[in-house]
Amino acid sequence: MRDTFEKSLPENAVEAVRRATRPVLRRRFYGKAGTAAAGESFAVRLDDKPVHTPAGRILAAPTLALAEAIAAEWDGQRDTINPAKMPLTRLANVIIDGVSDRPGPVAAEIQKYLATDLVCYRAAAPPGLVDRQARHWDPIVVWTHDALGAHLRVGEGVIHVVQPEAALAAAGAAIPDDPWRLGAVHTVTTLTGSALIALALLHARLTADEAWQAAHVDEDWNMAQWGRDEIALSRRAFHFTELQAAALVLQLLAD
């Protein structure tokens, strides 16, 4: 809608609209970001003062390495603080303010994705797309069977595939229950449309790059046939930073 509106305006008006819709960024008000022990957690500190989440809670992580990674985002800001360039901080805020108080509903949402998981719905044609889906998705299905004991069915087209309850229960048992890993897995699930991709990333079966490629098999195929969509690619690049932040949380907690 915004793109259509902009196309109807003269060039100088387009730039005026873009300036008006850009968020007003807060100027950097601190000299250095660091960390400090806070009970069983590690808090992010700005000039040795606490940082608060949007809900007013202390911005803190369960491990020092993770807290230091969040603090590094704050240190990386220049004259202004740009939340769009702080995906790890945004994810931490979501986990602290949202996931920590309601892990059950968050896990249940991931469980819903398992029943209609992306990697279980395959194209019947063309052969190139069929092969690409198989190359990226078959190893995930096999891993789910071998590592999680979940025997999920794979079907063609958009007709609903009824998954065995035992398979859904086995895959669901792999959903973490601690807020930080749960929040990271939920983020990956919603970004990729696949709980199986998220669980494979959680268990280091996939890298962040591999997870992202698996999530965009169909989109990449379409762009290869019809050309690049620069707007979609820009949006995708932003979302990839969010997935990388979630992957970093999982990696640092595993370490």
H or E element, residue 78: none
Q: Do 73 and 198 sit in the same domain of this protein?
A: no
CATH number at residue 246: 1.10.3580.10
**pLDDT at residue 78 greater than cutoff 80:** yes
Q: Tens digit of pLDDT for each residue in 205-248?
A: 999 999 999 999 999 999 999 988 888 889 999 999 999 999 99
Q: Tens digit of pLDDT for each residue in 90-136?
A: 999 999 999 999 999 999 999 999 999 999 999 999 999 999 999 99
State the Cα–Cα distance between residues 115 and 54, nearest whole angstrom: 33
Contact of 219 with 136, CB cutoff 8 Å:
no
pTM of the model: 0.89
* pLDDT number for residue 49: 96
The CA-based angle 108-170-122, given to 5 degrees, is 85
Contact of 129 with 218, CB cutoff 8 Å:
yes
Contact of 136 with 118, CB cutoff 8 Å:
no
Structural domain boundaries, residue 38: 26-83
In single-letter form, the type of residue at position 171 comes to A
**Mean pLDDT for the chain overall:** 92
Q: Does a structural domain hold residue 21? A: no
Q: Does a structural domain hold residue 219? A: yes
Q: Do 111 and 215 sit in the same domain of this protein?
A: yes
Q: Do 156 and 237 sit in the same domain of this protein?
A: yes
Cross-strand pairs, 38: 41
Q: Does a structural domain hold residue 207? A: yes
Contact of 151 with 167, CB cutoff 8 Å:
yes
The CA-based angle 4-8-12, given to 5 degrees, is 115
Q: Report the number of distinct structural domains present in the chain.
A: 2
In single-letter form, the type of residue at position 108 comes to A
Domain final residue, candidates 36, 52, 83? 83
Q: Do 152 and 60 sit in the same domain of this protein?
A: no
